[in-house]
Amino acid sequence: MAHKGAIEALDRTLQDVRECPQSMGGLTILFSGDFRQTLPVIPKSTRADQVRACLKSSSLWSQVTTLILTTIMRVRLHGDIEHEKFAEDLLLLGDGRVPKDQHDQISIQHLCSLVGSIDDLKSAVFPQLPENLLSHAWLCERANLAPTNVTVSAINRQLLETLPGNSMVFKSIDSNVDPFLIHWILLVFLHTCCTSKQDVLSYFSEI
């Protein structure tokens, strides 16, 4: 989620450019997004600091007209009743409308399958992986999600090790194609760069 300071900076800029003291320089601005996403990231801050950084904490929020979309067209167009029910349950969870028990807690067992270990997770998401490896439709229905890329890479590496064939590792070579930038972008820095896909792409399995 964008920091409210970015929106307020846009407000001041539009006022200056248009020489108009009204909010956003008198323009109508459309903001779209999901306020259930992660709050603005502020290093070494408290939750209160993060809430204060949200757009809803800005003085501009009182001038915002909120329009709520309630129909998930992507699910509706597919006509899948099961997926539509899942999407509705997610909206209930996001809106805080899931019923609570006597301990003021909610249950999400109807939204997902709970497992006790990483091995159970791999078996639940990718059952019989070697046998279904060549089925693109089967693979497209599955994915690993985790809080960090490091965790995803670790799980993907474990899954790759279960595939048949001999593993081959292809290492990349860090270099700078522009001689002018050699003194500005050092190889030591390039060695520290690691994209989310790099760890997975460096492993290849012969099938």
Work out the percent of the chain whose per-residue pLDDT is above 90: 28
Residue 196 reports pLDDT greater than 60? no
Output the average pLDDT for the chain: 83
The set of residues, in sequence order, having a beta carbon less than 8 Å from that of 101 and lying 6+ positions away, is: 107
Tell me which of 74 and 62 has the higher pLDDT.
62
Residue 204 reports pLDDT greater than 90? no
Residue 7 reports pLDDT greater than 80? yes
Terminal-to-terminal C-alpha distance of the chain: 43
Residue 14 reports pLDDT greater than 70? yes
Alpha helices in 55-203, H assignment, sequence order: 73-78, 81-94, 118-125, 129-132, 136-140, 149-160, 187-192, 198-201
Q: Mean per-residue pLDDT for 72-98? A: 80
The set of residues, in sequence order, having a beta carbon less than 8 Å from that of 17 and lying 6+ positions away, is: 25
- Residue 37: CB atoms within 10 A of its CB come to 8
Q: Is the pTM of this model over 0.85?
A: no
